[in-house]
């Protein structure tokens, strides 16, 4: 696709659309059976540590989630994705798993998980668990056995290599969280691979026994009623069999932030190896027996790369992360959405925020401007085929919280001097007035609150003009769009406007602060606005306020 800006024609000049329908991907294999409940659904990410604390220890838990499920049903959510809640030493707050078939005691137990699943299903909600197959904790029994007995069967569950000729790491791979992706086991003299922390050794997915272990894990949770899995680091399970050096694109010397270090290399051999698809095809055969879904954390920023990871017969959805890196301009928004939608159709998991990135209200300018931009962008995602996910607090328009350096908890910040880390987007959910804004009765929460009472769910629910009602209205509108034509046609529009059409519905986002008019040809009635513009019935020109998305239906 072209990166050129949208046409600069004025609304008066634009009397008919110059329509461009991107061709669907034709090389992908035919899709197999898909979980029917994914169609037109909207997901909600619960970062368990920060959602709701039922025990008074300052950390969110499973029962806390259960107690708040009615709020998510009221909001209009279909899918509740819960971040890892397995036993863990918490080197990376649960993404270092020590047991894949149990519950971390600070979060509850298997009974509490069953109660959550049952209550969610009563409310018509689906429950998706995070699973972390790229790596385990170094406290997992498999890794302890691998270290204690280098000749035993668990040694090959992980990636071990002899040192380079100079005694250093086997290759030049670097970790996401800083430093080399290799740590020396002095007892055996070999290095083990870890694309994240040394406490998170990478698993060897070329080992059939390991694959069998994880298939049993899927069965364990599916039998208990889990509706699907969000698969952490789905783009990196298999590594190059020869462990070749990655091409270096910049000099990492003197660079301190781990993300910038990581960008100094082309990740040709440690990420996106095609053999990973066979794993997900096997998993899909299991998931289909339970009408369950597989959703990949597919952290690639090129549409072709995402399409390769989600060809249609493995993962049901792949998260598209480019919106989290996107500047607020019409050309950038078009570039971010257009090709990905064309290549993947309804196989996209649309996200503009998560527990790993600055919140969109902050990224998009802060205050009411940032909130309005985030809502308008959400409306565009809701109009496209695929499944959008909201990160907890996004529906409240939350901005990043303030976390002083001495209270930071994210290993990116605590292990890399000067790095801010991800704590600012993980501060506890504000529920209402009172102690800790209703999140916890503890004297101290695991992270500071970071928000005020006017940000809270209770305050916003009582204020009809608050952000939560705007998001709820959008969710309600989304439910009305279940039978839209799957084909997306992108339209020529006034400068600063991004617009597409699906059947008889049109969606147009005005990225500018000033209002504009858009005449797409034909007669239209406005059916939804994210801003304060007035209704319009059977008009040839649609008025779009600044920082607003308008949805309209063709008349006649």
Residue 431 to residue 260: CA distance in whole angstroms: 36
* Nearest by Cα to 138 from 92, 177, 102, 170: 92
pLDDT tens for residues 280-326? Answer: 999 999 999 999 999 999 999 999 999 999 998 999 999 999 999 99
pLDDT tens for residues 243-266? Answer: 999 999 999 888 888 889 999 999
Across 354-370, average pLDDT: 97
CATH class of 36-138+205-479: alpha beta
DSSP count for the chain of H helices, then E strands: 14, 19
Catalytic residues: 232, 297
Q: Which of the 8 DSSP states describes residue 192?
A: E
Question: pLDDT-based confidence at 7, cuts 50/70/90?
Answer: very low
pLDDT of residue 257: 86
| pLDDT of 18 above 50 | no
pLDDT of residue 426: 98
> What percentage of the chain reaches a pLDDT higher than 90?
88
Question: pLDDT-based confidence at 12, cuts 50/70/90?
Answer: very low
| pLDDT of 405 above 70 | yes
pLDDT of residue 31: 52
pLDDT of residue 483: 83
pLDDT of residue 533: 78
Tokens of 460: 């916003």
Side-chain-facing half-sphere of 211: CA atoms under 13 Å = 16
Residue 232 to residue 238: CA distance in whole angstroms: 13
CB 62 within 8 A of CB 107: yes
Across 17-23, average pLDDT: 39
Burial 269-285 (b: 16+ CB within 10 A, else e): bbbbbeebbebbebbbe
CB 351 within 8 A of CB 323: yes
pLDDT of residue 22: 40
pLDDT of residue 3: 33
Residue 551 to residue 500: CA distance in whole angstroms: 10
pLDDT of residue 32: 55
Side-chain-facing half-sphere of 71: CA atoms under 13 Å = 24
pLDDT tens for residues 171-228? Answer: 999 999 989 999 999 999 999 999 999 999 999 999 999 999 999 999 999 999 999 9
Question: pLDDT-based confidence at 372, cuts 50/70/90?
Answer: very high
Across 327-336, average pLDDT: 98
Q: Which of the 8 DSSP states describes residue 518?
A: E
Q: Strand, coil or helix: what is 146?
A: helix
| pLDDT of 14 above 50 | no
What residue ranges do the domains of the chain occupy? 36-138+205-479
Task: Convert 15-47 into a string of H (helix), E (strand) and C (coil).
Answer: CCCCCEECCCCCCCCCCCCCCHHHCCCCEEEEC
CB 530 within 8 A of CB 507: no
pLDDT of residue 419: 86
Burial 25-53 (b: 16+ CB within 10 A, else e): beebeeeeebbebbebbbbbbbbbbbbbb
Tokens of 313: 């017969």
Alpha-carbon separation of residue 146 from 103, 111, 194, 399 (angstroms): 23, 31, 15, 44
Question: pLDDT-based confidence at 16, cuts 50/70/90?
Answer: very low
Average pLDDT across the chain, whole number: 93
| pLDDT of 6 above 50 | no
The alpha helices in 310-350, defined as continuous H runs, are 330-344
As a whole number of angstroms, the longest Cα–Cα distance in the chain is 77
């Amino acid at each position: 696709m072209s990166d050129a800006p949208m046409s600069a024609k004025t609304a008066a000049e634009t009397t008919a659309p110059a329509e461009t329908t991107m061709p669907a991907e034709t090389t992908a294999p035919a899709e197999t059976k898909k979980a029917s409940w994914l169609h037109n659904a909207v997901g909600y990410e619960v970062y368990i540590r920060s959602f709701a604390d039922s025990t008074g220890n300052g950390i969110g838990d499973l029962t806390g989630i259960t107690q708040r499920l009615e709020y998510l049903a009221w909001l209009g959510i279909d899918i509740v994705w819960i971040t890892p809640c397995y036993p863990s030493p918490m080197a990376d707050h649960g993404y270092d798993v020590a047991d894949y078939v149990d519950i971390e005691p600070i979060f509850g137990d298997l009974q509490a998980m069953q109660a959550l699943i049952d209550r969610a299903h009563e409310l018509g909600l689906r429950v998706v668990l995070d699973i972390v197959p790229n790596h385990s904790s170094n406290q997992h029994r498999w890794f302890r056995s691998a270290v204690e007995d280098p000749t035993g069967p668990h040694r090959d569950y992980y990636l071990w290599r002899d040192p380079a000729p100079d005694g250093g790491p086997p290759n030049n791979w670097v970790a996401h969280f800083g430093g080399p992706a290799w740590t020396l086991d002095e007892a055996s003299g070999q290095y083990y691979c870890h694309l994240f922390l040394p406490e998170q050794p990478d698993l060897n997915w070329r080992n059939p026994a390991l694959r069998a272990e994880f298939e049993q894990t899927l069965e364990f949770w599916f039998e208990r009623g889990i509706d699907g899995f969000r698969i952490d680091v789905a783009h990196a399970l298999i590594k190059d069999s020869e462990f070749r050096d990655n091409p270096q694109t910049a000099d990492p010397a003197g660079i301190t932030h781990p993300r910038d270090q990581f960008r100094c290399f082309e990740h040709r051999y440690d990420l996106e190896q095609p053999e990973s698809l066979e794993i997900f095809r096997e998993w899909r055969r299991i998931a289909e027996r339970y009408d369950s879904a597989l959703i990949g954390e597919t952290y690639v920023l090129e549409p072709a790369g995402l399409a390769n990871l989600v060809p249609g017969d493995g993962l049901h959805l792949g998260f598209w992360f480019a919106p989290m890196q996107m500047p607020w301009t019409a050309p950038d928004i078009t570039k971010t959405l257009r090709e990905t939608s064309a290549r993947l159709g309804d196989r996209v998991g649309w996200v503009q925020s998560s527990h790993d990135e600055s919140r969109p209200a902050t990224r998009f300018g802060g205050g009411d401007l940032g909130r309005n931009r985030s809502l308008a962008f959400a409306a565009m995602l809701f109009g496209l085929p695929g499944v959008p996910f909201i990160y907890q607090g996004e529906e409240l328009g939350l901005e990043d919280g303030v976390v002083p350096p001495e209270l930071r908890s994210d290993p990116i910040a605590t292990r890399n001097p000067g790095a801010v880390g991800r704590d600012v987007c993980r501060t506890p959910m504000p529920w209402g007035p009172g102690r800790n804004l209703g999140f916890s009765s503890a004297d101290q929460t695991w992270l500071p609150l970071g928000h005020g009472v006017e940000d809270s769910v209770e305050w916003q629910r009582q204020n009809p003009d608050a952000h939560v009602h705007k998001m709820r209205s959008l969710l309600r509108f989304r439910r009305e769009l279940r039978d839209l034509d799957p084909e997306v046609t992108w339209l020529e529009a006034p400068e600063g406007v991004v617009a597409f059409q699906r059947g008889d519905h049109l969606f147009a986002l005005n990225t500018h602060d000033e209002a504009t008019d858009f005449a797409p040809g034909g007669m239209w009635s406005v059916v939804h606005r994210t801003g304060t513009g007035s209704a319009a019935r059977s008009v040839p020109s649609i008025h779009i306020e600044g920082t607003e998305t308008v949805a309209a239906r063709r008349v006649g």
